[in-house]
Amino acid sequence: MNTEASAQQLSYIENQASDARVNIELETEGMTLNLGPQHPATHGTLRIIVRLDGEQVVSAEPVMGYMHRGYEKLTEVRTYPQVTTLVNRIDWLGSFANEVPFILAAERLMEVEAPARAQWIRTALFELSRIANVVLFLGDMAVQLGATTPVFYAFRDREFVLNQIESVTGGRFHPNFDRIGGVKDDLPKGWIQETKDVLVRINSFCEEMEDLVVGNEIFQTRTRGIGIIPADTGLAYGLSGANIRSSGVDWDLRRDGGVGLIHDQLDWKVWTHPDGDSFARYWVRLQEVRESCKMVGQILDGIPSGPIMAKVPRIIKVPPGEAYVETENPLGIMGYYIISKGDLVPYRVKIRSASFNNVSITPWVLKGVYVPDVISILASLYFILGDIDR
Amino acid sequence: MTVFNLAIELAYWQQTVIRSILGLVAVLLPAGTLVYLYLFKMMSFMQSRLGPMEAGPYGSLQLLAEVGKFLQKEDLFPRAADRVVFKAAPFVVLASTFLLVLVLPAGPDAWFINIDTGVFLALAVSSISVIGILMAGWGSASKYSLIGGLRAAGQLVAYELPLVLAVMGVVIQAGTLNVQEIVLAQANGEIFGWGGIGNPFLITQFLGFVIFLIAIQAELTQPPFDMPVAESEIVTGYLTEYTGMRFLLFFIGEFATAGIFSALAATFFLGGWYLPGLDPTSNLFNLIGPLVLVGKMLLVSFLIFWFRFTYPRFREDQLQQLAWKVLVPLSLVNIVATGVLKVAF
């Protein structure tokens, strides 16, 4: 080694050392904060290990699995009609929507199609459970940001939607109403008019939230420009539903997927927002509730008469084969991959639930934000714990 | 001077006993009233529910039930807590509340202390609570408490300044630091030669009143300034590890301070114990003065609690920006304008 090279090397080492000294002098001691598993913000048992520098997040890591209930395994020992009882507990706020993709996948394997009236009833309940789910988000997001009042309005008005679901299915939270080849019962008498009244209430609730939350300046300063997810990053992490639509991706399976439900016969609009921040996610969901109300209103007006069950055998044996069906659920895309060997029970069921992917972006999106924004971003991503862990 | 201008002469120790009891009443009564009236009932009606209904008529005995519940709870300490600091913290916070109530006059002769630097004393003792909150945050040996305590300290120090500066306008206009004389200046004042309702400084110092309200909202760490106790992120901040009696003390401290700050706002800006149309020197005010003051206090605290139940919370840096970039310059402008107008007229 010649002298010049070694002198260069020495000066390089010296520079490095002085940089390191400065870094050590300016370094503050980090702190690891466990948000969860028991924490008021996560309304369930999600644990997020946050490494903090002061109030700034250096790294965040979600730890899932505290609520794993083993539904994929349990479905292997249940007959097909019994599975709906299990899976509507995955996203417990919009539970009817969980049954639909499973039933659609099973119907595809059996090559039966539900009659028109059953499909319309299915779609109506699908959208009602979306309303029941997202209305609660609209209040909950505000309560995570410290405003206590909107969540009570949300609970108050969600109750009417749940009443309507109950009067059709008999269950407020776990309807277990969808059947292979149709639905269990027909609509009760007077239900259509009652539901129309409820839709008016939900619309006025949306107006209220527009005033109370969206129009609030503090809410806007807390959410605008916070937790921005660009469209390509969101797609790379597998976000779906309102989370990806609020990043400007015009993608809704109700319009684009088109299996089994009758959304293509209705007049509605897919809302997107170019910003991709927390505010956009709230705003898009607010518009989606309104669109759902519009859809349910059209269904109530145009529901055809006819049978509600197709001809299916009393003991359901699904022919061998594989099927994957996904639908646009309240939280995002939910899909069931069913493998059948021709038995009474599925051979294997893989559940693709939306929240698992929606939460997996947290290490990326939480990097560098402040602790208060951790909560607002998590709230705006909107996950249900059962939907993460299954 | 006696507490009331009665015919009987009281010994010094008798006066002291009476004043101590009345001071206790002046702290606990507003706290209880505010909790029942606003926290239990008004909040519930705003949120389309009824609030407590079972304990007593319309839930009016709910307060007793709550206090009874807290008293029965075990006095718990976190294992790693600094016990002395942890134990002392609620008392430091409550001490600031008790010292604060002393400067409030409730009638021409009904006062606890009547000193020429009353405003100065009030603003000075109100910042003692910062020490208590820092003690609670540090002594709890919990990360949530520590973050909450530091947030609270930063916030309270930041909002102390607009609080003081907002009152300066009143002091300039009244020409005195004596709280009693500020009330009298409003009672004897005139609006363009018309003395019908005196001259409540609310009219001339409206900007100061708004800044004062915002600042006391922040001093009380209530929404939208409740970042130190933000329950959705740091559980309840410096209160996280407290239970039972000590939590109750913090709770009383918070609501009593809310009442007393409201009463201070009423005294500085709404004319205090004075009711228009009566002679401010009349002995009658020693009796109805406290009632008038409580009425005005409820009016001001209604505003405070209304904001509390409506708004989401600011982020820590946003509320610092609000204090330093908006409230402090505005209150300085207010002081300059008041000074110029005072000299001009």
Average pLDDT over residues B188-209: 76
| Predicted local distance difference test score (pLDDT) of residue A25 | 65
| Cβ contact A375–B316 (<8 Å) | no
Residues 295-324 of chain B whose Cβ lies under 8 A from any Cβ of chain A? 309-318
* Rounded Cα distance, A45 and A390, in Å: 12
Q: Per-residue pLDDT tens for A280-334?
A: 999 999 999 999 999 999 999 888 888 888 888 888 888 888 989 888 888 888 8
Lowest mean pLDDT among A53-57, A216-220, B268-272: A53-57
Which residue of B144, B309, B315 is in closest CB contact with A372? Answer: B315
Residues 181-220 of chain A whose Cβ lies under 8 A from any Cβ of chain B? 212-213, 216, 218-219
Q: Per-residue pLDDT tens for A130-169?
A: 999 999 888 888 888 888 888 889 988 889 999 999 998 8
Which residue in the block uniquely carries the two structure tokens 């402090």?
Answer: B328
Q: Are residues A55 and A103 in the same domain?
A: no
Q: Which helix (H) or strand (E) covers residue A50, if one does?
A: strand A47-53
Handedness of CA A108, A114, A120, A121 (dihedral sign): negative
Environment class of A294 (CB within 10 Å of its CB; exposed 0-12, middle 13-18, buried 19+): middle
Nearest chain B Cα to A140, which residue? B232
Q: Are residues A56 and A86 in the same domain?
A: no
Q: How confident is the model at residue A386 (pLDDT cuts 50, 70, 90)?
A: confident
Q: Are residues A79 and A22 in the same domain?
A: no
| Predicted local distance difference test score (pLDDT) of residue A43 | 65
Average pLDDT over residues B214-222: 87
Whether B4 has a pLDDT exceeding 60, the answer reads: no
| Cβ contact B315–A153 (<8 Å) | no
Average pLDDT over residues B319-327: 88
Within 8 A by CB and 6+ apart from A288, the residues are A130, A134, A242, A271
Whether A17 has a pLDDT exceeding 80, the answer reads: no
Taking Cα atoms as reference points, which of A330, A82, A297 lies closest to residue A196?
A297
Average pLDDT over residues A346-353: 88
| Predicted local distance difference test score (pLDDT) of residue A40 | 64
| Cα-trace Rg, chain A | 24
* Rounded Cα distance, A222 and A231, in Å: 21
Q: Are residues A30 and A54 in the same domain?
A: yes
Beta bridge partners of A325: A336
Phi–psi pair at A32, nearest 5 degrees: -100, 125
Nearest chain A Cα to B316, which residue? A372
Beta strands across the sheet bearing A31-35: A31-35, A47-53, A56-63
Highest mean pLDDT among A275-289, B74-88, B186-200, B304-318: A275-289
Distances (CA, A) of B17 to A33, B14, B23, B104, B306: 50, 5, 10, 18, 37
Gap from A302 CA to chain B (nearest CA, Å): 35
Lowest mean pLDDT among A28-42, A100-114, A263-277: A28-42
| Predicted local distance difference test score (pLDDT) of residue A289 | 92
Q: How confident is the model at residue B1 (pLDDT cuts 50, 70, 90)?
A: very low
| Cβ contact A147–B312 (<8 Å) | yes
Within 8 A by CB and 6+ apart from A329, the residues are A91, A94, A97, A98, A101, A130, A241, A354
Q: Which two tokens stand for residue A111?
A: 């090559």
Domain boundary among A16, A40, A60: A60
The answer to whether A373 contacts chain B (CB < 8 Å) is yes
Q: How confident is the model at residue B343 (pLDDT cuts 50, 70, 90)?
A: confident
Percent of chain B with pLDDT over 70: 96
Taking Cα atoms as reference points, which of B237, B68, B70 lies closest to residue B143?
B237
The answer to whether B94 contacts chain A (CB < 8 Å) is no
Three-point CA angle A58, A63, A68, nearest 5°: 165
Q: How confident is the model at residue B244 (pLDDT cuts 50, 70, 90)?
A: confident
| Predicted local distance difference test score (pLDDT) of residue A30 | 74
* Rounded Cα distance, A285 and A139, in Å: 12
Nearest chain A Cα to B308, which residue? A147
- Residues in A closer than 8 angstroms to B231, CB to CB, are 40
* Rounded Cα distance, A33 and A41, in Å: 14
| Side-chain-side CA neighbours of residue B70 (13 Å) | 16
Q: Are residues A157 and A298 in the same domain?
A: yes
Furthest-apart CA atoms within chain A: distance in Å: 97
Cα end-to-end distance, chain B, whole Å: 36
Q: Are residues A129 and A160 in the same domain?
A: yes
Strand A348-352 with A182-183, pairing: unpaired
Q: Which helix (H) or strand (E) covers residue A2, if one does?
A: none
Are A378 and A365 in contact by the 8 Å Cβ rule? The answer is no
Which residue in the block uniquely carries the two structure tokens 């009423």?
Answer: B266
Beta bridge partners of A183: A178
Q: Are residues A180 and A258 in the same domain?
A: yes
| Cβ contact A147–B316 (<8 Å) | no
More confident residue, A36 or B151: B151
Three-point CA angle B41, A146, B134, nearest 5°: 100
- Identify the CATH number of the domain in which residue A241 sits: 1.10.645.10
Question: What letters, b where the CB count within 10 A reaches 16 and e where it falls short, cover B37-72?
Answer: ebbbbbbbebbeeebbeeeeeebeebbeebeeebee
- Residues in B closer than 8 angstroms to A213, CB to CB, are 312
Q: Are residues A234 and A268 in the same domain?
A: yes
Q: Are residues A50 and A134 in the same domain?
A: no
Taking Cα atoms as reference points, which of B28, B41, B76, B53 lies closest to residue B257?
B28
A262 three-class SS: coil
* Rounded Cα distance, B189 and B199, in Å: 5
Average pLDDT over residues B228-233: 77
**DSSP type of residue A329:** E
- Residues in A closer than 8 angstroms to B317, CB to CB, are 370
- Residues in A closer than 8 angstroms to B43, CB to CB, are 148
Are B186 and B239 in contact by the 8 Å Cβ rule? The answer is no
Q: Per-residue pLDDT tens for A186-222?
A: 888 889 899 999 999 999 999 888 888 888 888 888 8
Q: Are residues A52 and A99 in the same domain?
A: no
| Predicted local distance difference test score (pLDDT) of residue B28 | 85
Average pLDDT over residues B76-103: 86
Domain, as residue range, for A159: 69-389
Phi–psi pair at A29, nearest 5 degrees: -75, 130
* Rounded Cα distance, B254 and B260, in Å: 10
* Rounded Cα distance, A204 and A160, in Å: 13
The structural domain count of chain A equals: 2
The distance from CA A352 to its chain's CA centroid, rounded to whole angstroms, is 11
Which residue of B48, B230, B310 is in closest CB contact with A153? Answer: B48
Which residue in the block uniquely carries the two structure tokens 């409230």?
Answer: B327
Whether A24 has a pLDDT exceeding 70, the answer reads: no
| Side-chain-side CA neighbours of residue A179 (13 Å) | 18
- pTM confidence score: 0.82
Break chain B into its structural domains and give their ranges.
Answer: 12-344
Percent of chain A with pLDDT over 90: 9
Q: Are residues A25 and A133 in the same domain?
A: no
Taking Cα atoms as reference points, which of A125, A172, A98 lies closest to residue A329?
A98
